[in-house]
Structure 1
């Protein structure tokens, strides 16, 4: 019953965004990580940022609008984001991103990979490697079980989570390893939800598409 309700809510971008913002305290935890790791408002004014699996574009305000691109598989999410957020948005999936080679300086992935099987994650990671410039950064945040045993609401939300592929740090390192080197990893709490954070550097040269 509750899972069916969550499924229905996820089909309504406005309602889903309100629910997620409520349980994650306005995404303050994730926004702080973005600021600390990517410094989107500092440095080179030409840096470009990709938000892979952007959903309703909840993290678009963390970036300069003219240098932010959000991509999501859900057309209803992309349409909502394009109407309610600043930045550029496009429909696409990890198998073939509708983006040019070496066109971004950093990529953000929040709560996406734990919805996908290993083979699909590997394909998406390869595509992120392709669209990032040499020296680019991948910042991934993925759901983990709450570390606080008394965070009962967090444990309930984790149990209800739509993702069926919760992985360990070692699992993610193995999936990313061919294309990205781990700079650091740590855990955060955002509202009642816990995330593992992976800061990774792009490996190797760009393999240009013909």
Structure 2
């Protein structure tokens, strides 16, 4: 479990640093709207996968984890509707899912059955980082409006899943798979939070822009 904790804490620290660096260029509302758009875009697929994970043979002895996954599968539609309502309240429309979200879906579909422990580790990383990102976006937006931003239950889903994982017994192979999934989840989750920060788009634009003094063909 130490490796999983390290990977997730590394991702959270990276997110905090990058969000602080981007604060002067992007408002909390922009970032939050993009993170909520990701939540809407991924909710249906994650609902299906969490239900599937809860029935996998490799996790059959992990009752607490399976019950939590089943609960998330049952409540995913409400999770999606809450994100839509928050976007509506902010007068924002859900944005189309970026390519990285589709790559995440393809990766998760591939491992959900064949490597369920890896999928569980990846889910823990995603839930931890995305929940923290949404919470930070709300705090940034609240600060710009001189208001308070209460902590919401969905922000703590990552910690809830990690607690459930720690409460179970895992063999060495399962722990290795969990850690492998946490690494992949950290990488993919950071790519999606960077999309929410607009970094991918702005960096691509900078690469396309001609340098000062350069001659155009």
TM over 0.5: no
Comparing both chains, which one has the higher relative contact order based on Cα–Cα distances under 8 Å and sequence gaps of 6 or more?
2
User: Could you state the TM-score of these two structures normalised by the residue count of structure 1?
Assistant: 0.29
Structure 1 or 2: more helix by fraction: 2
Structure 1 or 2: more strand by fraction: 1
Structure (1 or 2) with the larger CA radius of gyration = 2
User: Could you state the TM-score of these two structures normalised by the residue count of structure 2?
Assistant: 0.28
